[in-house]
Amino acid sequence: MLTDKKLRIAVMVSGGGTNLQALIDSMKSGVIHSGEITLVISNKADAYALTRAENAGIKAVAVTRKEQGDNFEKKIIETLEENNIDLVVLAGFMCILSQDFTDRFKNRIINIHPSLIPSFCGEGFYGLRVHKAALEKGVKVTGATVHFVNEIPDGGEIIMQKAVEVMEGDTPETLSTRVLQNAEWIILPRATQLVCEKILRNEI
């Protein structure tokens, strides 16, 4: 049985934050009702995602490798712990996290990847590179995957997937937009809610 308790969610981003916006909108609409985004962290000080967070009244923090150096992950961990975060959502976070980091938050970090894992995933597959590889391979169906994060890039247990058709004449840019709109923005909020429910039920 679910309680009225809401998990405290941190979203980690590197860029414009369209997936972050989908999560914020899903909180407002009630798709996400077992958790609340209370913190946004970006590894880029000028990421527009930080502005999106501030506009929504959410605490926004930049933690950059340039400023932190070897303390980069340590600073992120400190920030998460200071804010009593229960679940971390990687929504276009372009840094690979160490095993020390992922072990510390085992089954408490999820990520969105713009392909149907195990296709076009792992180290080096991010952003438009994923869609370029899919088009070069000639696949007719691609999509997005939400998965738990472990020490292997894109290697954690799959939580949710959604397929998207590849159209004739697609470019990496047009395919990226279709996958975002028809898969990522839909399954990331749903998977976030699902994981929140499971944590509240002590199932994970």
* Count of domains forming the chain: 1
* Two structure tokens written together for 146: 């939400």
Specify if 145 maps to a domain. yes
From the candidates 33, 113, 131, 147, which is the catalytic residue?
Answer: 113
Specify if 2 maps to a domain. no
Please write down the long-range contacts of 53-62, taking CB distance under 8 Å and 24 or more positions apart: 53/11, 53/17, 53/20, 53/24, 56/24, 58/24, 59/83
Summarize the confidence of residues 4-21 as an average pLDDT: 95
Q: What is the pLDDT of residue 170?
A: 98
What are the tens digits of pLDDT across the range 30-85?
999 999 999 999 999 999 999 999 999 999 999 999 999 999 999 999 999 999 99
Specify if 189 maps to a domain. yes
113 is catalytic: yes
Q: Is the dihedral of CA 186, 190, 191, 196 positive or negative?
A: positive
Read off the CATH number of the domain in which 86 is found. 3.40.50.170
User: In the chain, pLDDT over 70 holds for what percent of residues?
Assistant: 99
Q: What is the pTM of this model?
A: 0.96
Specify if 138 maps to a domain. yes
Confidence of residue 1 (pLDDT cuts 50, 70, 90): very low
User: In the chain, pLDDT over 90 holds for what percent of residues?
Assistant: 98
Domain with 72, as residue range(s), is 7-200
* Two structure tokens written together for 158: 């799959």
- Judge whether 170 and 133 are in contact, CB under 8 Å: no
Specify if 1 maps to a domain. no
How far is residue 87's CA from residue 6's CA, in Å, rounded to a whole number?
11
Specify if 123 maps to a domain. yes
Q: What is the pLDDT of residue 5?
A: 87
Q: What is the pLDDT of residue 3?
A: 54
